[in-house]
Amino acid sequence: MSNAVGKTCPYCQTPIKPGEEVVYCSACSIPHHQQCWNEGRGCTTFGCQGQASQVPVPNRFSDTIIDIDIGTESTPATKFCPYCGETILLQAIKCRYCGSMLPDVQMAAAYDQGAYTLPGPAPYQGGGSSWVYAKASSGARFVASILDSLVCTAAWLPLIIAGATDEGFFYFIGIITGIWAIWYAFTKDGRPNGQSIGKKAMGLMVVNLSTNLPCSKGSSALRALLWVIPYIGGLIYLVDCIMVLASDNGRRIGDHLANTQVIAVASYSGPYL
């Protein structure tokens, strides 16, 4: 039986089954499905430019694994390399199979296993349907919400002035800025990189846990939708505040509806920042 059976093809992210045609990369020795190699036009391991080989080649990275002894458990905790899919120690900061340096937030986990309070590998997708990130600072989120509130309040100032002065010009400007304020309130977290003005100032962003992409405007609107429901919007807002403080990941009701999470930009493992 081929020693590639059971290993994850880095292109399609599915295990290689017995009898399937396999191509090994001559540089990193990571096996691919033959079809995946052809579709990917070569090795799809991050940063590798190796050529095809029909037999396994020695792994030139085998001597460069960096492990950190942080626990006392009899069975070491493990995680999956996000680049080649191999199982490695949680303490590893460099994959012993493909030689890839792991994301900074995974390095933090090597020193502090308590950095991730949710089950499963973090911050990459380890076979489940959602990505896992550490909880963002509640204090930073509070300041960001204040800044965003000030932005919206400033947009309503022309209408406030118009009401006090009865000036038609301010009514005209106020209608435009008021519409913008409503639009901003619903789509602010769908701005570039999933950052409202306040979140950008505080080094935060909103990420979609299904795709690991920054929040879209549609998801941003879904996150804010419950707050505008008559009679119960205020109660939902109060519950959301409690959830942000008390939950392990800081996700509120709107986050569960949109499958999003507010995270620190420094924790983001995606390619879009």
Is residue 129 in a domain? Answer: no
Place of tokens 């880095």: 10
The per-residue pLDDT for 109 is: 43
Cα separation, 131 vs 260, in Å, equals 10
User: Measuring CA to CA, how many Å separate 48 from each of 10, 28, 51, 236?
Assistant: 11, 7, 9, 49
Most distant CA atoms of the chain, gap in Å: 85
Q: What is the CATH number of the domain that holds 5?
A: 3.30.40
Is residue 73 in a domain? Answer: yes
Residues 148 and 187 in one domain: yes
Q: How many domains does the chain have?
A: 3
Is residue 2 in a domain? Answer: yes
Pick the closest to residue 48 from 32, 71, 65, 68 (CA basis): 32
Is residue 124 in a domain? Answer: no
The per-residue pLDDT for 74 is: 56
Residues 219 and 198 in one domain: yes
Residues 153 and 193 in one domain: yes
Residues 92 and 54 in one domain: no
Residues 96 and 165 in one domain: no
Residues 81 and 157 in one domain: no
Cα separation, 116 vs 134, in Å, equals 5
Residues 245 and 169 in one domain: yes
Residues 168 and 183 in one domain: yes
Is residue 198 in a domain? Answer: yes
Residues 28 and 67 in one domain: no
Residue 77 Cα to chain centre, angstroms: 22
Is residue 128 in a domain? Answer: no
Is residue 208 in a domain? Answer: yes
User: Measuring CA to CA, how many Å separate 200 from each of 8, 104, 184, 255, 266?
Assistant: 37, 20, 14, 18, 12
What single-letter DSSP state applies at residue 93? S
Pick the closest to residue 214 from 254, 169, 270 (CA basis): 270
Residues 83 and 189 in one domain: no
Instruction: Give the residue numbers spanning the domain of 42.
Output: 1-58
- pLDDT by 10s per residue, the chain, length 273: 456 777 778 787 778 877 788 888 777 778 888 888 888 777 877 666 655 544 444 443 333 333 333 444 456 667 777 667 777 776 666 677 776 666 544 444 444 444 444 333 345 444 445 678 888 999 999 999 999 999 999 988 888 888 888 777 888 888 899 899 999 999 999 999 899 999 999 999 999 988 888 999 999 999 999 888 888 888 998 999 999 999 888 999 999 999 999 999 888 876 555
Are the CB atoms for 23 and 52 separated by under 8 Å?
yes
Residues 50 and 157 in one domain: no
Is residue 217 in a domain? Answer: yes
The per-residue pLDDT for 110 is: 41
How many CB atoms neighbour CB 267 within 10 A? 22
Residues 77 and 195 in one domain: no
